[in-house]
Amino acid sequence: MSVGVRRYAPCAPLPVALVLWLLSLRNVNLGGIGALGLLQVLPPLYWVAVVLLTGGFVATLRTPRLSQGWLAGYVLALIALIHATPTLLYPTLRYAWAWKHVAIVDAMLHHNGVVPNAGDLEIYNQWPGFFLLNVAVLKVLGLSSPVGYAAWVPPFANALMLVPLLLIYRSVTTDRRIVWTGVWIYYSVSWIGQDYFSPQAFAFLLYAWVMALVLRRLPAKARAPGEPASGRPPDRPTSGVLGGWGWSLVTVLLLVGAIVCSHQLTPLMVISGLALLMIPRRNRRVVWPPLVGAAVITAVYGATVARPYLSKNLGSFVSSLASPDGNVASGFRSLGSAAPEQVLVGFVDRGLSATVMLLAVACLVLRRWTRRTPIVWLLVAPLPLLAANAYGGEMLFRAYMFSLPAACFLIGALVHPSRRGQEAARTRWSGPRKALLPVLMLALLGGLFFSYDSKEAMNYYTSDEVAAASWMTDNAPPGAVIVAVTGAVPGLDERYDEHPEVVLAATAPQLQQLLVADPRTALLYSVGFVKSGTPVYLILSRAQMWELKLTGELPADTVARLADAVSATPGFTLVYRNANASVYRFTVG
């Protein structure tokens, strides 16, 4: 074998894995999706591609003379395998919240950037940045709805995240092993699923850019020992009133402004991260201008545009501050009522998250140089907000997500010794370490697939379900009430201003208990608020049944029992049916 062939041998698994992946998607039976989601239908060839891709990445990482472009190719391929697989397999947009955000964009597109008659959706008028951006994109491209490209947001959002991740990591070290291992692990453990068509995904990407731009300007002492200040020319000043920012500060503040008008939580994460970066004295001259700017922009926006929402919820914010333990514990939802498969997935979620954080802490203990870097402050930046507010029970997951870039860098530093100790480590345990890295990567990826793909039975919508929901919203006259058992209905919020909605699983506990005992009576009580003669449309579908089965919010047979009850009751008319959904119509008496 020639020298050239041996040199590029680690690159060969990349195209082979991509071909195997695409071949594996040809004959996937989506009808076989069950309580473990895509894990039940992805063929062995898919998993061969995952293992091959991981092995090729590790081999390329250990070949210093290969261009880092190959490492980027492996990471982009990993993103495709994880996030483009549902997009390529599914005929429709996945996930109920993505459909809801499509409906908001559609409403703003047709009402001059405003959500009319918003009601519970008024929050989108107060944080409209993401939606108005999509309205502008639709107008420029001449499209009528974002539903066509929304399905591709997860792979593209994750791919775009690669650039700020690299900037953050390279602001601390030039060791490509640490940088690229951290990047790979980030995509291997990012299971929260906040990368769909949403303001959160948009704001999180901008948050990463803000932190990347700030970290690149920190003094050399904030980097790994002996590392050059690679993020900026050595003669660029870091002194002066603005810490050497100049016009670059405008870019950071524009990013902060886009975050502030798009999402409620992310601006606070920005402020928390910057405030903690101010703790080391050496960072203060650089960090204080963007910190003050972010605080002022957030405060002004909260006092003006977002004032109605903040005023309405001020009491709950204050009460949350008094129960930090409750805020943290709110993320640990009981798994007792969930399907047995989802109980297993819940333990995998928790185990994966705990493993990531324990490995990050182990790095801080064993790699002392990492304690002197800004990464440690980004790791703990979400903790103040975690203690301050429950964020609807999701704060624990959001804290994990915002800590993840820093945690993954630390794991990369943990599995690779510093350059000063590299030779000693090679002689002592080079063999075990070489075997440990791919095993660790595959184990983390296994946890990700369990966590990320296991709920697809309720997140995936068939073409039949989309057709049924579309028929209902198109044919229900203005003022007609739309009722669903759960929110797992694609397009449920389309024309929300014309059709009041009732989601039975989200009603009062007493009504839910009645729904279990007497589905028809509970249905009639749920629409008791409308006047006599109002038409009501009830949609029952496959995804709703699966949501109940997976989450245990209501008995799994609730959808079927409700269908039987209304089918046998005079006055209820079946107006639409296909293989996966049914629509019934009745009139409030």
Q: Is position 323 within any domain?
A: yes
Stronger pLDDT, 157 or 122, i.e. the higher one: 157
Within the chain, what is the greatest distance between any pair of CA atoms?
85
252 in the same domain as 146: no
* pLDDT reading at 546 higher than 70: yes
Phi then psi dihedrals of residue 584, to 5 deg:
-110, 150
Q: Is position 206 within any domain?
A: yes
> Rounded to an integer, what distance in angstroms lies between the CA atom of residue 101 and that of residue 312?
23
For the stretch 40-87, pLDDT in tens is 999 999 999 999 999 999 999 999 888 999 999 999 999 999 999 999
296 in the same domain as 225: yes
Q: Provide mean pLDDT across the span 414-424.
A: 64
574 in the same domain as 442: no
* pLDDT reading at 425 higher than 50: no
* pLDDT reading at 137 higher than 50: yes
- pTM for this entry: 0.91
Residue 438 banded pLDDT, cuts 50, 70, 90? very high
Whether the CB-CB separation of 411 and 190 falls below 8 Å is answered with: no
Whether the CB-CB separation of 581 and 67 falls below 8 Å is answered with: no
Residue 436 banded pLDDT, cuts 50, 70, 90? confident
255 in the same domain as 121: no
Q: What share of the chain is helix, strand, coil (3-state, %, to 5)?
A: 65, 5, 30
Q: Which residues pair with 576 in a beta bridge?
A: 583
Least confident of 12-26, 326-340, 351-365, 469-483: 326-340
Q: End of a domain among 114, 134, 150?
A: 150
pLDDT computed for residue 311 by the predictor: 85
316 in the same domain as 284: yes
For the stretch 496-542, pLDDT in tens is 888 999 999 999 999 999 999 999 999 999 998 888 889 999 999 99
137 in the same domain as 243: no
pLDDT computed for residue 269 by the predictor: 95
Q: End of a domain among 119, 150, 181?
A: 150
- Residue 198 one-letter amino acid: S
- Sorted by sequence, the CB contacts under 8 Å of residue 107 that are 6+ apart come out as 115, 116, 496, 497
Whether the CB-CB separation of 87 and 149 falls below 8 Å is answered with: no
Report the domain count for the chain.
3
Q: Is position 56 within any domain?
A: no
* pLDDT reading at 428 higher than 80: no
Residue 232 banded pLDDT, cuts 50, 70, 90? very low
Place of tokens 């997935």: 345
- Decide the pairing of beta strands 481-484 and 581-587: unpaired
* pLDDT reading at 334 higher than 60: no
Q: In whole angstroms, how far apart are CA 408 and each of 44, 319, 352, 357? A: 28, 34, 12, 9
- Mean pLDDT taken over the chain: 89
Residue 339 banded pLDDT, cuts 50, 70, 90? confident
Q: Is position 60 within any domain?
A: no
Q: For 447-486, b where at least 16 C-beta lie within 10 A, e where not — what string?
A: bbbbbbbbbbbbbbbbebbbbbbebbbeebeeebbbbbbb
Whether the CB-CB separation of 198 and 154 falls below 8 Å is answered with: no
SS3 labels along 494-548: CCCCCCCEEEHHHCCHHHHHHHHHCHHHHHHHHCCCCCCCCEEEEEEEHHHHHHH
* pLDDT reading at 393 higher than 90: no
Burial class of residue 17 (count of CB atoms within 10 Å of its CB; 0-12, 13-18, 19+): buried
* pLDDT reading at 317 higher than 80: no
Burial class of residue 54 (count of CB atoms within 10 Å of its CB; 0-12, 13-18, 19+): buried
Q: Is position 361 within any domain?
A: yes
* pLDDT reading at 426 higher than 50: no
277 in the same domain as 186: yes
Q: Provide mean pLDDT across the span 274-299.
A: 95
Stronger pLDDT, 228 or 225, i.e. the higher one: 225
Q: Is position 362 within any domain?
A: yes
Residue 329 banded pLDDT, cuts 50, 70, 90? very low
Q: Is position 28 within any domain?
A: no
> Rounded to an integer, what distance in angstroms lies between the CA atom of residue 403 and that of residue 329?
18
Q: Is position 560 within any domain?
A: yes
Burial class of residue 588 (count of CB atoms within 10 Å of its CB; 0-12, 13-18, 19+): middle
Q: Provide mean pLDDT across the span 281-306.
A: 95
Q: End of a domain among 150, 170, 185?
A: 150
Whether the CB-CB separation of 401 and 198 falls below 8 Å is answered with: no
Please count the residues of the chain.
589
Q: How many beta carbons lie within 10 A of that of residue 297, not counting itself?
A: 20
434 in the same domain as 288: yes
582 in the same domain as 437: no
Residue 241 banded pLDDT, cuts 50, 70, 90? low
Stronger pLDDT, 339 or 200, i.e. the higher one: 200
pLDDT computed for residue 9 by the predictor: 87
Q: What's 565's domain CATH number? A: 3.40.50
258 in the same domain as 196: yes
Q: Could you tell me the residue range of the domain that residue 556 belongs to?
A: 461-587
% of the chain surpassing 90 pLDDT:
75
For the stretch 276-288, pLDDT in tens is 999 999 999 999 9
487 in the same domain as 579: yes
285 in the same domain as 143: no
